[in-house]
Homo-oligomer: A and B are copies of this chain.
Amino acid sequence: MKNHVFALLALLFLPLVHAPLGADEGMWLFNRPPRELLKKKYDFTLTEPWLTNAQKASVRFNNGGSGGFVSADGLVVTNHHIGADSILKLSVKGKDLHRDGFYAANREDELKCPDLELNVLQDLTDVTDKVKAAVKPGLSAAEAAAARRAILAKLSKDAQAESGLRCDVVMLYRGAEYHLYRYKKYTDVRLVFAPEHAVASFGGDVDNFEFPRTDLDVSFFRVYEDGKPASTPHYFKWSTTGPADGDLVFVTGHPGTTNRLETLAHLMHRRDVTLPYMLQMLRQREALLIQYAATGPEQKRAAQNDLARVANARKAFTGQYHGLLNPEILAAKAKLEKELRDPIESNPAKYWKEYGRLWREIEDTLRKEATMDAPPLFGSMGNRGIAAERNYALVERGDAFDSQLFKIARHLVRLAEERDKDDGKRLPEYRSSAMASLQYQLFSPAPISADLERTKLAGSLAFLAENVGGGSYGMSKIMAGKPPADRAAELIAGTKLASVAERKRLFEGGKQAIADSADPLIRLAVFIDPDARKLREQFDLNQEVLQQAYASIAKATFEHYGTAIAPDATFTLRLAFGVVKGYEVNGAQLRPLTTLGDLYARSTAQENEEPFRLPKSWLDAKAKLDLTTPINFVSTADTIGGNSGSPVLNRAGELVGINFDRNRHGLVRNFVYTDVQARHVSVHSRGVLEALRHRYQAEGLLRELVP
């Protein structure tokens, strides 16, 4: 049994990717952990208690990150950059917790986050058979999509009704399997500790996806139930030693998206259609936000979170794009695909019936996504020759309307319509099982900067014009005869959606309230909705075709290689493992650990200028700190975006680090695992203790972490 298809793939190109037998690849499902692999390679026995504790002590940050319980009293550790959204929302003029940091010495000082939701996975069940039974063979793509939508809604709803838990059905292996995930949900989450942003993100965008690093990218929160700290018997013991060079480590977190099971045609589509657009869009936003942030300290604070996200995405997608421009990567992928595909396609008698059109189906569908024959938009916007996929991104995903208030308007408009439908016929984001979390976000009291909203909306309306042409009928309707800046100003000044009460009024008033509303953002959302829905419908249909083809390919793959392949990442809990290990860059050997001393040295070398400027408090604390203390380290474990804040564990299941980044060599991991130079980067558990003790004097927190 060849148990590791991508280890094979990796073998094809040396020295870029060097993966010996049993490479540390895989973001493994908790219901199919890699026991044999760990036993064989590391002589590690993965016990049931170890696994259960790791699962129930792992936390999903619903805004896109990971974390873990580190005390029995609901204390959660994550990255500073995952907590940043809440930290910024808790900041006000004159009290900038993001810039200056925060520490609640007593529990009554802990600050409730306005809209943070944490999830803890309770159990997961394979429900593939139920989905397959509902989506019968022989249906048209549209019928299959409808049947699938209905069964997924039903499974979530029934599970939720039965358990009272948050229940999601997750598609795995791009459609080959479905598992039901049940989560305990926390919405009373309070901020306990955050360091200064300058230390948490030391090196900023320059050092993002780089190593050596010396970032204290951690923050602490606490979950509450009934107004009291929640009891969390499953938690990670905080290691006072942390890992050393060569140690086996585990990462337990929620990797967001990988594309390793995608066909060659799909990767080429990413290269030639998806990523060029994404990069354009992100650069436009980044340029806008950088300029806005530079206009003053308040603007900097308001734009901080958007800017960090956009810059991070731009850097990650740039890395992916350059990876796909690497002929070696595509050649290796092509070779592997051929190996699987040739015997199937050369024996149509056997395979055609069994698998369908497979790779060709995918290619055809992607061609549709890339086609210039986009449906006319907004009545008669006409065909400006842009890809269907780009139209979808602009209009339905909402890239053309980059405003939080617009997103709220869109939800209210759609909710009014969707809530009247059968649960199984709704757009998935409005299923009854998703409603509680959606409302929690929708009615968040977190302040929204009107000034930033105006700026972002004006920029994205102009970006829409850049894509579809400035003179069309649809544009003139959207712009109402004004240039983008004036139109955005009018929309944001005119809307009342900054008020939570108004949102609730419209939510409760349903269709009639929406029809009666003169709110300009509501009217805009209503105006574009028919076209947006048409794009969504076509997109969903394409997804159905893709997933059927991928399910067949997965079947063929399992038969050919065996089933011990981890599925692509899906922002659900996974277990990865690897070794603390340095690597070589341009002939120089990099050590796998950095120290607090390295932090000060680098700041000095960069003349203490941003993004390497240390706060005065840190300069003052230098003499008190043991500068030999490790602060960051790298390992070969398999991570991706979404793993930010993931607990890193040792053999004993203790927390030895908090993952916060990959290096740039790891950016191609979306498509292929490599461990020659690719590493993930973590904060070292000892570095955190040293900073808490001698820089922050956070005695209470220390007592809780290391009693």
Which A residues have a C-beta under 8 Å from some C-beta of B?
204-206, 268, 271-272, 275-276, 279-280, 283-284, 286-287, 290-291, 294-297, 314, 318, 321-327, 330, 372, 385, 462, 465-467, 469-471, 476, 479, 481-485, 606-607, 609-611
Contacts and interface: CB of A to CB of B under 8 A. Distances in A.
Contacts of A314: 287
Contacts of A611: 294
Contact of A297 (B276, B324, B607): B607
Contacts of A327: 476, 479, 481-483
Nearest to A370: B385
A386 to B, nearest CB: 10
Given A276-B466, A385-B385, A294 B324 contact: no
A271 B290 CA distance: 24
A321 B462 contact: yes
A contact patch SS: helix
In the A-B complex, the 6 residue pairs with the smallest Cβ-Cβ separation, listed nearest first, are: A276-B466, A326-B483, A283-B283, A272-B469, A206-B294, A271-B470
A57 to B, nearest CB: 37
B291 A205 contact: yes
A322 B483 contact: yes
A484 B296 contact: no
Contacts of A465: 271, 325
A465 B610 CA distance: 33
Contact of A325 (B272, B324, B483): B483
A277 to B, nearest CB: 9
A310 B287 CA distance: 12
Given A286-B287, A287-B286, A324 B385 contact: no
A382 to B, nearest CB: 12
Nearest to A273: B469
A287 B283 contact: yes
A485 B280 contact: no
A145 B284 CA distance: 39
Nearest to A323: B483
Contact of A385 (B290, B372, B471, B607): B372
A272 B462 contact: no
Contacts of A205: 291, 294
Given A322-B485, A462-B321, A466-B276, A471 B287 contact: no
Nearest to A272: B469
Contacts of A204: 294
A484 B325 contact: yes
A372 B206 CA distance: 38
A284 B286 CA distance: 10
Contacts of A330: 471
A268 B465 CA distance: 12
26 contacts: A205-B291, A205-B294, A206-B294, A268-B470, A268-B471, A271-B465, A271-B469, A271-B470, A276-B466, A276-B467, A279-B284, A283-B284, A286-B287, A287-B287, A287-B314, A297-B606, A318-B462, A321-B462, A322-B462, A322-B484, A322-B485, A323-B483, A325-B479, A325-B483, A327-B481, A372-B385
Nearest to A469: B272
Contacts of A295: 206
Contacts of A287: 283, 286-287, 314
A327 B487 CA distance: 12
Contacts of A324: 470
A606 B467 CA distance: 36
A417 B283 CA distance: 40
A294 B203 CA distance: 9
A271 B295 CA distance: 28
A405 B311 CA distance: 30
A404 B467 CA distance: 31
A325 B462 contact: yes
A445 B279 CA distance: 37
Given A291-B206, A322-B462, A471 B272 contact: yes
Contacts of A476: 327
Given A271-B465, A325-B470, 7 more contacts: A268-B470, A296-B606, A321-B462, A321-B466, A322-B462, A325-B483, A325-B484
Nearest to A605: B296
Contacts of A481: 327
Nearest to A324: B470
A438 to B, nearest CB: 34
A369 to B, nearest CB: 15
A286 B287 CA distance: 8
A458 to B, nearest CB: 8
A279 B466 contact: yes
A379 to B, nearest CB: 18
Contacts of A484: 322, 325
A320 to B, nearest CB: 12
